[in-house]
Chains A and B, each alone.
Chain A
């Protein structure tokens, strides 16, 4: 008997031989294919070059008078060359040095050919032009000469027309007939001669024409020489010669290699023969042991039968391809045996576990260790199977894994019970909502996530008002049903990311993770949410013929805060009690300042509706100046004088007005009052030239109203304002929202006389490239760029670019927020000559502005 080591050596040697044979067969296939392609490509290159030469001929002869064919030909050659180069690289028969040699030789030739062709292109047209000019002009000159009275002509001219021109005609014919043997010296002597003779021509018309004629003669000579040289180069350095040369080098190399390969092949056949003899001997010995093996197999069969009855068994190869499964397996997974064999084991992978879990299994078994554990597999898209599984890797004599055997038992039922228990531990039995435990878990997670992302989340604590009364009077059964309906309504109020939890009794908590990063927006969002909840809870409930009403008190707290997350719930609870104290059916923020903000907002929203009626809006004007300190206009700014709170800044009330849509009414009021004021001032001070335009801000929502233009036209008619005194300030963002419609609107308003400027320019979507599409007269450089302009080089670049661009497009620029002399000077030196800002004046009331108007 042979030792197992000896056997494996034989087997490996046999395999190696087999692989080598296959390898060589494969290689010689590829080899032949590549080889054929190289030859084909070389032939193609030849054809392309032939075509290129033909096109050169056609162009030289004037049959074709454009260069597209030449260019296309060159591009094709270049492509073919590129392909050939890759084929060379893929060719086994070529060494690196050979490849390099072959590649560089051809590339060089192609490059030089391209250069020559470019020279030809540049010269041939010029030559043709000058030739045409010369033949036409010399002919014309002779005719002209013959028509004139020869008595009165100068001798110089006579000499040239009768002797020199015919001489040149002959020279040119010689040149065309045989450019190579053309006598250049003779030609240049004649040219010199001609040049000196021209000075004897007394007739100015002829003199000038002859001067130009000489230029063309020289051009013919020079260009013909260039064209000739180029053609010579093309004919002498034919690509075809090089291609042939390369082909023969290539074929030599190929043949040499072919011989080597066939030697190798012979050697391998010999080795294979020896091995076949060896194997035959081995087989004889194996037959003897076969009988013993059979007996063992019978015993094993019994064991297998027993295992099949109990367990789910599958066998895969080392790559996870299933090679065998038992009946139990097929029953559990509802699969036909024939369908699963040959498939990857991943087919039943559920992806329920983390990728780390699967990785761990693989890392265990792929090093030959046994893995045991519980795993959830997939029966089909909807059904899953839990297995208590053992995976055993099988190693061959070389300690290499060749198969895996998985043995498992179905534990799906046990798992289901386990999961139910777990669900109950984390959920409220009555409503199925998450309970306090799960809520605290999630709160902790979300809190740290928010900290990481710099976001805020919210916690809304809800307690039903007078629930105890319902419970006591109608019984627990009704009370429970009410709680279930409340929980359903709460679920409808929130998004998929949010958690609605029941803490017990009539206490619910809603967790809103990652609401926003802006604390003001978070406040607003939570406020709206609480409002919605209040409303929904207030709606009637129908429970067993009873129509019930209830309401909710709500406390709101934000996280993350500086404190622990459990405190957040406490904070919400505290806020809840504030809501109860305030008379129930309302909400309260834990944070005092947020509560205040919410209240102020609510108040402002209510008061804003009355502000117009109460006449609380005031127009302010901020004057605009030029560099000579002369008043040129003003921007109209809106102020709200609240009857209790005093002056409220636009930053506070404009966003509310925009959100509620009230901005439309306010905007219309501003337009009307502004127009009236302008009309009034124009009537009263007709002589004032300083009041060029008053700029009025138009909000996006207002501008986008479909009847905006009609409103403006109506107001112009009613107030009789001169539209040429009105300027609308719009923001950059508006321009790009609906570009075509916006342009159309602006153009219509401009046709009335109103001019347009862009406010806060540079802060929005400022691709300067779109600007010239816009029919805008003026840019307002945003104050953030003006601030410390002389100290900040980045701002300086931006401002400089804006000014340059605007000037180029014929737009005006004005800088807003000019506060210091230095900023003013810097702006002036960059070319911005109009300003607005505290350096000159703050925004002022109508009367104060009128004083400035009349004083200056």
Chain B
């Protein structure tokens, strides 16, 4: 019965999705986004502000690492677009890490965390990094006494959580802080909410290409990605072209051990993409244009004309949002 219904629906809607690039349908502007494949980020998120404040302190506290050198904020810096601007982050031994650090912004909207999508929740991710020998290299036996020795933590935890400082409460406050890190009100979101002049004609054209070429197939929804797995190198073999394959390149395979998951990654969010260079899981590209070009070849099986790449880039730049009412900006060159 279900299958029949499916085919019936496909037959009925076939014309719609063949010409899905057409945006001239006469719908009212304010409700436009309800039919768009991209949804705006909610302007506010309701969370316990006391937990946010506490979580922020923990997020910036190097005591969560064994040698008191790294904090969450070391690789996820709110001033640098929520990542560290490096191709690969720095480990607690001062060496280069295995993979590029993804942005912490809007991670609440990802269906899994990290490039390989290993963790379902922010709490899992935070705990895994605390224990990761290259990052925190710590344990709860080590961290909890350190926090307990701190008068601020002792008092604050007790005022929020009756059970005081425990694994669960530490993770809960960090995750609550991370959930507060959303970047609403980008130019494009304003456009989706009905402000026709929020983006320029060229940027609108870029969005049209974004849908027509099929980028939208994976980069959709509220986070413009982050909610689907996809193989990297659909139409050509990226990894043999690049060479020097490492274990980190195997992606989801490292989690499931299944052959079909080799080179499969969680599609990253394109929110704030203009300020989170370098790109790709290996951090190999610094230019957004180059990345667009490469994605078209490997993921869409097509080559884009330069003019279209330019417009696509213009569109992507409208995705930069605001944190605490301030528009995110490119980091200062030191």
Q: A residues near B, CB below 8 A?
A: 53, 57, 60-68, 71, 118, 121-122, 124-126, 128-130, 132-133, 135, 176, 212, 215-216, 219, 231-232, 234-235, 238, 766-770, 772-773, 775, 797-798, 800-805, 808-811
Contact = CB atoms under 8 A, between A and B. Distances in A.
B62 A769 contact: yes
B70 interface: yes
B334 A61 contact: no
Nearest to B302: A133
Interface in B283-306: 300-302
Query: Secondary structure of the B side of the interface?
Result: loop
Contacts of B255: none
B86 A118 contact: no
Nearest to A794: B67
Contacts, number: 152
B190 interface: no
A65 B6 contact: no
B334 A797 contact: no
B2 A53 contact: yes
A133 B229 contact: no
B77 A67 contact: no
B63 to A, nearest CB: 9
A328 B18 CA distance: 96
26 contacts: A57-B9, A61-B13, A62-B17, A63-B13, A65-B37, A67-B227, A71-B227, A122-B231, A126-B234, A128-B17, A129-B300, A132-B20, A133-B302, A176-B10, A212-B301, A767-B73, A772-B331, A773-B79, A797-B67, A800-B94, A801-B90, A801-B94, A802-B94, A804-B95, A805-B94, A811-B334
A126 B267 CA distance: 13
Given A809-B334, A810-B334, A63 B16 contact: yes
Given A68-B227, A231-B2, 8 more contacts: A61-B10, A62-B13, A62-B17, A65-B37, A122-B230, A122-B264, A216-B301, A800-B94
Contacts of A805: 90, 94
A772 B80 contact: yes
Contacts of A66: 37-39, 220-222
Contact of A118 (B62, B71, B228): B228
Nearest to A811: B334
Interface in B100-119: 111
Contact of B71 (A215, A769, A775, A801): A769
B151 interface: no
A121 B228 contact: yes
Contact of A804 (B6, B71, B94, B229): B94
Contacts of B158: none
A125 B94 contact: no
Given A71-B227, A808-B86, A810-B334, A65 B94 contact: no
Interface in B203-240: 212-214, 216-218, 220-222, 227-231, 234-235
Contacts of B94: 797, 800-805
Contacts of B111: 71
A65 B20 contact: yes
Contact of A231 (B1, B3, B12, B220): B3
Nearest to A232: B3
B69 A130 contact: no
A811 B334 CA distance: 8
Given A215-B235, A775-B334, A57 B228 contact: no
Given A216-B301, A775-B334, A797-B67, A122 B3 contact: no
B301 A133 contact: yes
A128 B13 contact: no
Interface in B252-296: 264
